[in-house]
């Protein structure tokens, strides 16, 4: 029996992606060679890479003047690559959680960082609003979905400086106006593919303006010039990403993904707010659609372990909150079906009745 998979990442992927990737691992396109064993220089894989770029541009309606590349190292490497390639003197970082803070820390190795806009004083329970974006910075960096604390930025900022966004965990969950961004990056293991590849969407005109020498492998232009194949790319995750993008198109595109995300998250938040045992952890106007974080009300704290055992017995996995905050976290990525949310809501109702 399949589990209800609420893991934060690596996480649930569409059955279509898993099945098609499994077929390719056994025999890629009838070549008699496993996808895991074939050369990335083979023309067959060259077509996969081109297809991945094509589908990114189609699904997100990326305008001309942007490049899409696929790299290793995860979003964590991008914390350093972004400032290495873009930071000339000063950058503006909005600190909304652990990953945003880590990104700012890396940027400080390359120049001045203004990170005074933050929700840290309130344990990252809200997205700062109404702040002024400084015009004297090279770019503004945001982390759109904060998986550990459960907040999400759901707007495309009108910014006087380029916006750089870590969209590791909410890419493809809503339509984007990509023209409002200078660079978008993210690890694939949430809403795109199995772990091992990182996507970068970058506005070409932003590159080549820093004075520092950039190591060849850490220069975005290197990978743009070589179609993401300067070195051996992670072929299996890229193929899986192609299949997920096909699945998104088959299921109505990012507009439909957003509709489903709203429906799933609303249903779960409604139960959290209704149920006497549970409470949300962040301000309601900052709640994430992808990462629903909640805890037991104080008088029921001793039931936390019991609830985790309760949902585990109902074939639900991945609901334990991040080790730094505790409680519970339900990751509602695109591939998670409404049936899983229904199962969790019913479990919460039943647990309430028993306790």
In 3D space, the residue among 27, 15, 45 whose CA is nearest the CA of residue 243 turns out to be 15
Residue 237 CA to residue 241 CA, distance in Å, equals 6
Neighbouring residues of 17: CB distance < 8 A, sequence distance ≥ 6? 193, 240, 243, 244, 247, 335
* 244 within 8 A of 11, measured Cβ to Cβ: no
- Report the alpha-carbon distance of residue 43 to residue 276 in Å, rounded: 59
Measured CA distances, 111 to 38, 86, 105, 160, 184 (Å)? 42, 10, 11, 20, 20
Give the Å distances, CA to CA, from 354 to 217, 269, 278, 303, 341. Answer: 57, 21, 14, 11, 20
- The encoded tokens of residue 123 equal 């344990």
| DSSP label of 335 | T
Could you list the active site residues? 99, 166, 190
Nearest to 231 by CA among 216, 213, 246: 216
């Amino acid at each position: 029996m399949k589990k209800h998979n609420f893991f934060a990442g690596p996480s649930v992927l569409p059955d279509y992606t898993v099945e098609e990737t499994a077929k390719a691992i056994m025999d890629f396109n009838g070549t008699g060679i496993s996808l895991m064993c074939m050369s990335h220089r083979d023309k067959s894989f060259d077509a996969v890479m081109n297809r991945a770029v094509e589908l990114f541009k189609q699904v997100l309606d990326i305008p001309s003047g942007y490049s899409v590349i696929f790299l290793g190292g995860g979003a964590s490497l991008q914390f350093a690559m972004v400032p290495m390639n873009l930071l000339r003197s000063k950058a503006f970082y909005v600190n909304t959680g652990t990953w945003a803070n880590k990104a700012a820390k890396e940027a400080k190795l390359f120049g001045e960082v203004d990170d005074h806009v933050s929700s840290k004083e309130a344990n990252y329970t809200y997205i700062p609003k109404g702040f002024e974006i400084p015009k004297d910075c090279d770019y503004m960096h945001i982390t759109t979905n904060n998986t550990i604390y459960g907040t999400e930025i759901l707007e495309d900022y009108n910014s006087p400086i380029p916006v750089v966004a870590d969209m590791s965990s909410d890419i493809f969950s809503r339509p984007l106006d990509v023209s409002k961004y200078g660079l978008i990056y993210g690890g694939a293991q949430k809403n795109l593919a199995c772990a091992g590849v990182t996507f970068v969407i970058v506005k070409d005109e932003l590159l080549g303006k820093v004075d520092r020498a950039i190591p060849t492998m850490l220069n975005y232009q290197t990978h743009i010039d070589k179609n993401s194949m300067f070195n051996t790319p992670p072929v299996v995750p890229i193929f899986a990403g192609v299949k997920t993008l096909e699945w998104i198109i088959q299921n109505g595109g990012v507009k439909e993904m957003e509709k489903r995300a709203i429906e799933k998250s609303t249903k779960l938040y409604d139960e959290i707010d209704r149920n006497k045992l549970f409470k949300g952890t962040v301000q309601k106007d900052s709640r994430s659609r992808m990462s629903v974080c909640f805890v037991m009300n104080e008088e029921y704290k001793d039931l936390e372990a019991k609830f985790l055992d309760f949902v585990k017995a109902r074939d639900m996995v991945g609901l334990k909150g991040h080790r730094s905050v505790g409680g519970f976290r339900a990751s509602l990525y695109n591939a998670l079906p409404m049936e899983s949310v229904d199962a969790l809501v019913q479990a919460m109702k039943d647990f309430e009745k028993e306790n």
